[in-house]
């Protein structure tokens, strides 16, 4: 049963009154909606408050992978926030004319190109920092040891080799490095055969080394972290390709860049604050859960990891049958084993942590409890006061802390209610424990990586580096 106690209009009115702007002269109604929306989305990321059962997902025959962000019913986890949406939020926060059109003239402080470019940079940086979105591609492969990759690829998360016609069988490629390859077989680079491993350590960027070099042509089956869709907000609005609840990260990151520009725009204090908020969202994204529970063909199942599936059945993509296992390769990517045959129908249902439901009309009810109304207004007030700056804005820090405390408290209640909360909480990200994106190792660079440096002169914040 949905909540039916507070309408969207009522929540906006309460925020306007809290800001002592009941006439919405300094904060427009549209702006109030934006900051309440951000508060709801941030609450969702922190608390996993909104959970919902999906409609049945048909497991299509001969389809080994499913991108859940697009395969599940629209409205649950799909990406809808656009580059123009973020630009409009930035304009409000910087006290600029709030338009998302390329006709915005800009000011002596900021221009449209600066704002647009900062959004694109931070979106791609966020994808790189978090690895939140996994993309599948099947590029053709040359008969050579080193394969050239598309320049949109940031990170290779999993690779398989598919031989050419008439064989067309799959072989999982394990991530190795040239030293381990040489220790296993000193002649590996001179002997053609069926590739069994790949390395990204020695090759230049946008290349991978195969061990051994392929004897036949074929294709690669890649799961990668890649740059998002091209953004050109001056022409049209484009969805960022990120979970909607994480998109405040792009706003904060872009603001950090804009407020660090030399000249009239420079505001070191607020730029540093924005960068900290961006980094907080990066850490949240690395832990973000999506699938809490799953049912396969009407029976409960515990999703495994793709790494575990590859290890247990290295050629699993060659077979087909009635699916008996689901394996998660990340927040959005799922594999099905065996690959569904034509004897179905086969289906899966998921309980997911969905994105925050944002009311579309003033008469719609806000889907939060009565006990959470004040803290949503607290955080929205904190964000709204950013454009005021100074002591007035800093005075709302207590409201932001109250919001954080209550969000964490709700999450702790979920933890107390679940005997094995670690497993569902981590299910969407557990693949990184077996295929880590970052490690505490020296690598090839000159800087030590036992900590993640905040700058070249201060490196004193140890963090987990395997995600």
Q: What is the 3-state secondary structure (H, E, C) of 176-235?
A: CCHHHHHHHCCCHHHCCECCCEEECCCCCCCEEEEECCECCCEEEEEEEEECCCCCCCCC
Query: Quick check: 63 and 346 in contact, CB under 8 A?
Result: no
For 349, the 3-state DSSP assignment is strand
> What are 363-404's pLDDT values in tens digits?
999 999 999 999 999 999 999 999 999 999 999 999 999 999
Distance CA 298, CA 315 (A): 27
Helix/strand/coil for 438: coil
Give residue 38's region: left, alpha or beta (phi > 0; psi -120 to 50): alpha
144: tokens are: 């050579």
> 346 and 323 in contact (C-beta within 8 Å)?
yes
Q: Work out the pLDDT band at 460, boundaries 50, 70, 90.
A: very low
Residue identified by tokens 């949406």 is: 85
Average pLDDT over residues 350-359: 96
Q: Which tens digit of pLDDT belongs to each residue from 433-442?
A: 888 888 765 6
Q: What are residue 326's DSSP bridge partners?
A: 336
pLDDT digit string, tens, across residues 249-268: 999 999 999 999 988 889 99
Closest by CA position to 96, among listed 230, 258, 326: 258
β-partners of residue 193 are 214
| Pair of tokens at residue 87 | 């630009």
Distance CA 341, CA 413 (A): 42
Query: Which of the residue ranges 38-42, 131-135, 167-171 would you say has the lowest mean pLDDT?
Result: 167-171
């Amino acid at each position: 049963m949905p909540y039916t106690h507070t309408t969207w209009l009522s929540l906006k009115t309460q925020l306007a009154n809290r800001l002592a702007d009941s006439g919405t002269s300094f904060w427009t109604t549209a702006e109030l909606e934006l900051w309440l929306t951000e508060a709801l989305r941030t609450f969702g990321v922190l608390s996993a408050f909104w959970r919902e059962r999906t409609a049945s997902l048909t497991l299509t025959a001969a389809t080994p992978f499913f991108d859940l962000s697009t395969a599940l019913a629209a409205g649950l986890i799909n990406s809808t926030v656009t580059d123009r949406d973020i630009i409009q939020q930035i304009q409000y926060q910087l006290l600029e004319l709030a338009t998302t059109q390329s006709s915005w003239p800009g000011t002596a402080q900021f221009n449209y190109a600066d704002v647009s470019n900062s959004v694109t940079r931070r979106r791609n940086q966020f994808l790189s920092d978090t690895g939140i979105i996994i993309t599948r591609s099947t590029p053709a492969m040359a008969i050579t040891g080193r394969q050239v990759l598309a320049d949109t690829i940031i990170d290779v998360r999993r690779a398989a080799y598919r031989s050419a016609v008439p064989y067309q069988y799959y072989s999982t490629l394990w991530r190795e490095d040239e030293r381990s390859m040489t220790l296993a077989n000193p002649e590996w680079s001179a002997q053609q055969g069926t590739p069994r491993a790949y390395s990204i350590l020695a090759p230049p960027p946008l290349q991978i080394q195969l061990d051994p070099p392929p004897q036949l042509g074929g294709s690669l089956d890649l799961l990668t972290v890649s740059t998002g869709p091209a953004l050109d907000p001056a022409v049209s609005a484009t969805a960022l390709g990120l979970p909607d609840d994480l998109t405040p990260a792009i706003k904060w990151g872009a603001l950090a860049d804009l407020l660090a520009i030399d000249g009239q725009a420079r505001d070191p204090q607020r730029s540093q604050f924005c960068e900290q908020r961006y980094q907080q969202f990066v850490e949240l994204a690395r832990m973000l859960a999506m699938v809490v529970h799953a049912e396969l063909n009407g029976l409960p199942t515990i999703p495994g990891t793709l790494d575990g599936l590859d290890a247990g059945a290295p050629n699993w993509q060659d077979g087909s049958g009635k699916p008996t296992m689901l394996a998660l390769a990340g927040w959005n990517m799922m594999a099905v084993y065996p690959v569904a045959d034509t004897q179905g129908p086969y289906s899966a249902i998921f309980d997911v942590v969905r994105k925050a439901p944002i009311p579309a009309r003033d008469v719609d009810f806000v889907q939060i409890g009565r006990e959470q109304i004040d803290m949503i207004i607290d955080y929205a007030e904190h964000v709204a006061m950013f454009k005021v700056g100074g002591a007035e804005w800093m005075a709302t820090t207590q409201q932001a802390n109250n919001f954080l405390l209550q969000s964490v408290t709700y999450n702790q209640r979920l933890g107390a209610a679940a005997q094995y909360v670690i497993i569902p909480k981590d299910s969407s990200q557990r693949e990184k424990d077996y295929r880590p994106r970052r490690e505490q190792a020296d690598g090839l660079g000159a800087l030590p990586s036992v900590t993640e440096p905040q700058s070249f002169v201060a490196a004193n914040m140890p963090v987990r580096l395997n995600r």
